Structure 1
Amino acid sequence: MKTKDLALEALIAAVYIAVTVLLKPISYSFMQVRISEVMLILVLFNRKHAYGLIIGCLLANFVSDAGILDVIFGTLATAITCLLMSITKDDHLALVWPALVNGIIVGAMLGYVLNVPYLPAMGWVFLGEFIATFVSGIFLIKPLKKNTKMQEIFG
């Protein structure tokens, strides 16, 4: 990996961590809207950005009250999401993966950790992730992909 690429992935990870931790009350919980997840759009520019996003998620999850389980399962969910998004050709369909994957994996983990019913936990995580990624992504993806500076930096 070139120095420029490494620096960009480190920056992506740092921004993901900062946004997640600064918004901790809504980033980690039964009912969460992890705003930093909107950055998953970057995978649609170039799949290499999965590195920064996965590392950012891994490190940000060390702050979670769910402990090591969030570090393991939250990071796994992000890795699976990045893979699925990077192989899905339709951008709008790709934006659904974060809600589905996190709803199932993180929702089940939170159900276990918080001792709450699994389906409501999965539903709340799905809803929060849907808002953070799909709803915001629908409005952002087209203008960002048309932006030549964004293409130059992240493409």
Structure 2
Amino acid sequence: MKEFKENKVLFMAQAAMIAAIYVVLTVLFAPISFGEVQVRFAEALTILPFFTPAAIPGLFIGCLFGNIYGGAILPDIIFGSLATLVGALITYMLRNRNKFLAPVGPIAANTIVVPLVLRYAYGITLPLWMMCLSVGIGEVLSCGVLGMILLFALAKYKNVIFKKAAV
């Protein structure tokens, strides 16, 4: 029983730390974290479900609060955060496959959802394909490039940093 409680505390601590880092990165880099051309550095953290399931709620909550503190409107807060949640779930589901698949879920989810939010919530009238392209490029930079750099850096220390946390 004691081990379960320790794992539960570890899970919550990991989730809270990931959420806090996501919020700080989103707000710190707010000028490039929002809009039709964006590179959200915090999205590099979406590879963390590769290491721990605690990253899933951490990323969702971090994105939710990052969007709130960043000044996003309600549909963006809801659907943008859900896109990050879906991306994190896909990363977690693909964790036992090739590590190069880790950023695919977040890239796909945000490339599809964010342009729709930009169009229907913010009224941006650029062609949808153009917003998909610009958001997709930003996601490839943040998740695919920065996220994979983070994945390889953390992989060396995964047993130290990411102890098994109970779901």
Using structure 2 for the length normalisation, give the TM-score.
Answer: 0.84
Divergent runs of 4+, >6 A:
none
- Greater relative contact order (CA < 8 Å, ≥ 6 in sequence): 2
> What do residues 97-153 of structure 1 show as CA deviations (whole Å, max 9, x unaligned)?
211110110112112322322111111111101100111233332332122xx4322
Residue 154 of structure 1 deviates from its aligned partner by 2.0
The answer for unaligned runs of 5 or more in structure 2 is 1-6
Identity %: 37
The question of 1:143 aligning with 2:149 is answered no
Aligned Cα RMSD in Å? 1.7
2:54 aligned counterpart, secondary structure: helix
Matches of 1:67 and 1:154, distance apart in 2: 34
Match of 2:133 among 123, 131, 155: 123
The answer for unaligned runs of 5 or more in structure 1 is none
The question of 1:53 aligning with 2:63 is answered no
Task: Choose 127-136 or 55-64, whichever is displaced more.
Answer: 55-64
1:47 aligned counterpart, secondary structure: coil
Matches of 1:63 and 1:29, distance apart in 2: 15
Residue 5 of structure 1 deviates from its aligned partner by 2.4
Flag the structure with higher helix content: 1
Find the counterpart in structure 2 of residue 99 from structure 1: 107
Task: Choose 41-50 or 106-115, whichever is displaced more.
Answer: 106-115
Using structure 1 for the length normalisation, give the TM-score.
Answer: 0.90
The structure that has the greater radius of gyration is 2
Match of 1:36 among 42, 53, 57: 42
Matches of 2:147 and 2:65, distance apart in 1: 24
The 8 Å contact of residues 45 and 151 in structure 1, kept in 2 or not, is answered as: no
- CA 1:66–1:121 in 2, change beyond 3 Å: closer, same or farther? farther
Find the counterpart in structure 2 of residue 72 from structure 1: 78
